[in-house]
Amino acid sequence: MLAGMTTNVVFGLLRVAILVAALKAANGEIADYDIAAANTYVWIGQGLLGFVLLWGTNELAERVRSGDVVVDLYRPWHLQGALLAEDVGRGGYAFLTRLAPPMLLGMLVFPFQFPASPYQWPLFLVSAVIALVTCFGCRFLVEVSAFWLLDNRGLYGFWNISSGLLCGLTVPIAFFPEWAREALWMTPFPALVQAPIDVFLGHGSVVKLLLYQLFWAAVVLALGHLALQRAVRKVVLQGG
Amino acid sequence: MADVIYPRLIGARLRSQMSYRASFAMDFVTQVIAQWYELIVILILFTQINALGGFTRNEVLLMYAFAGAAFGVADLFAGQLDNLPTYIRTGSFDVLLMRPLGTLPQIMCSDIRLRRIGRITGALAVMIYALTHVPIEWTPAKVVLAIATPIAGSVIYSSVWVVACSVCFWIVEGREFANAVTYGSNAFTSYPINVYSRPLRWVMAFIVPGAFVAYYPSLALLGKQDPLGLPGWVGWTSPLVAALAAVVAGLVWRFAVRHYRGTGS
């Protein structure tokens, strides 16, 4: 865990340095971000990364490939619901070990933009939890694809490579050119990292952000449910 | 003996990976995209600004490309060291020690992944673009420097990789510490180092000699003054720094292996 924290903090420091250098080159402000906001953005992002578990394990897909998934399917539960419950539980622990430490570091050591009103704290928490559920839904879709692809490592690798940029972890989405910004906000990606950060920083309307997140959480969970239902009909048991 | 075994080992690895063409092609493309992740970040930042730390977009791209190409080559050969904790934990490092060959070259040749050439290709493409789009007064010496820089850089990165992974002989789950240094220094060296705060710069640019991978050679090529005040000839010293780093890495590795104790199983 300590080793994971070191990596997290090193990359946080690097990203802060580059964003701050960019801000200095632009007279201190780019698209609503000043130096305090950029620091806040980076340290919340470094925390959310582990809290929503942007880069998961692909374990379910491996179980599909090996056939072990049959054991999961014949248990008297809804597989997606059970895994979601497990992930929310993991999130409770990750809140203390992954989300809180980088945020505290940011608050104590760096210029930090605290929310203007106290209501933003609980709203940020709500937004972060929806982000966790949405992220679970996206990862579940990637993993369930193994029922059709058998080897989903290509898709899984592609998710791992591109999600950091698309969800606004590396560069704030507000820095993107307008066409990219508009296109991205039509996808679920910003719901995973950028939306909770925007709620915390007070960028944009909170109600709109939360509704946007809820919409995508519902869509990806529903898609995952449908995909699983169809996949189950495809499963062939080889002997036993 | 070793000069016959290693080419054969590497040849066997390469043939086995080329046998699944479609899978290889997809992996290759994924690696090119992975390399261009930072490129996209730089391009996005430069839609908002004109200069970063006093360097134009193409100058930053040159540093990023040098760093990327060097890291790609180092990853190809030294990336296998990430498996070292598994060797140590399971005791299979004993097997390497029993063979009449060096432990380090054995690990380096153990699992060469050809798809990593995708990373190198992605970086080389940007390097060619950047070299033809930045103002350089070409001389024969500068041509040599442009070619030597990624080679020296890959030796520096590989040395860093060896030293960082040697930690695993004492802390078995030390891989993430090592990754903070190896992958971290790739991210670090992709940008002009004068944008970083002083403590970070000291650790990542001079103790870990990241500044000599891309930053100083690029300054020498561009004929620019170092904003941090080091003289111009520093940009030509990367091969020396690389040689020094390799010697240090060799000594650290030897020291670490002496401290290895088998798990007894």
Average pLDDT of every residue of chain A: 91
Tell me the CA distances in angstroms from B145 to A156, B152, B180, B218, one per residue in order: 39, 10, 29, 9
Residue ranges for chain B with pLDDT beneath 70: 1-2, 263-265
Predicted model pTM: 0.90
pLDDT tens-digit map of A97-108: 999 999 999 999
Q: How many Cβ atoms sit within 10 Å of the Cβ of residue B223? A: 12
The span from the CA of B218 to the CA of B220, in Å, is 5
The span from the CA of B26 to the CA of B115, in Å, is 9
Burial of A30 (0-12, 13-18, 19+ CB in 10 A): buried
The span from the CA of A94 to the CA of A115, in Å, is 22
pLDDT tens-digit map of B196-231: 988 888 888 888 899 999 999 999 999 888 888 888
pLDDT score recorded for residue B22:
79
Q: Which residues numbered 15-74 in A keep a CB inside 8 Å of some CB on B?
A: 17-18, 20-22, 25-26, 30-31
Residue appearing with tokens 């379910």: A60
pLDDT tens-digit map of A88-147: 999 999 999 999 999 999 999 999 999 989 999 999 999 999 999 999 999 999 999 988
B27, B48, B57, B168, best to mutate vs chain A, most A CBs in 10 Å: B48
Residues in chain A within 8 Å Cβ distance of B177? 3, 6-7
Residue A239 above 60 pLDDT? Answer: no
- Given a contact cutoff of 8 angstroms between Cβ atoms, the answer to whether A146 and A65 are in contact is yes
Every domain of chain B and the residues it spans: 2-258
* A158:B177 CB<8 A: no
Q: Which residue of B has its CA nearest to A168?
A: B41
* B30:A11 CB<8 A: no
Q: Is A170 on the interface with B (CB under 8 A)?
A: yes
- Comparing CB atoms, the residue among B45, B175, B179 nearest residue A175 is B45
Tell me the CA distances in angstroms from B9 to A60, B13, B110, B219, one per residue in order: 34, 6, 8, 40
Q: Which residue of A has its CA nearest to B198?
A: A17
- Comparing CB atoms, the residue among B40, B179, B196 nearest residue A165 is B40
Q: Number of helices and strands (H, E) in chain B?
A: 12, 0
Tell me the CA distances in angstroms from A1 to A11, A91, A96, one per residue in order: 16, 15, 12
B31, B39, B49, best to mutate vs chain A, most A CBs in 10 Å: B49
CB pairs under 8 A between A and B: 87
ipTM of the complex: 0.90
The span from the CA of B259 to the CA of B253, in Å, is 10
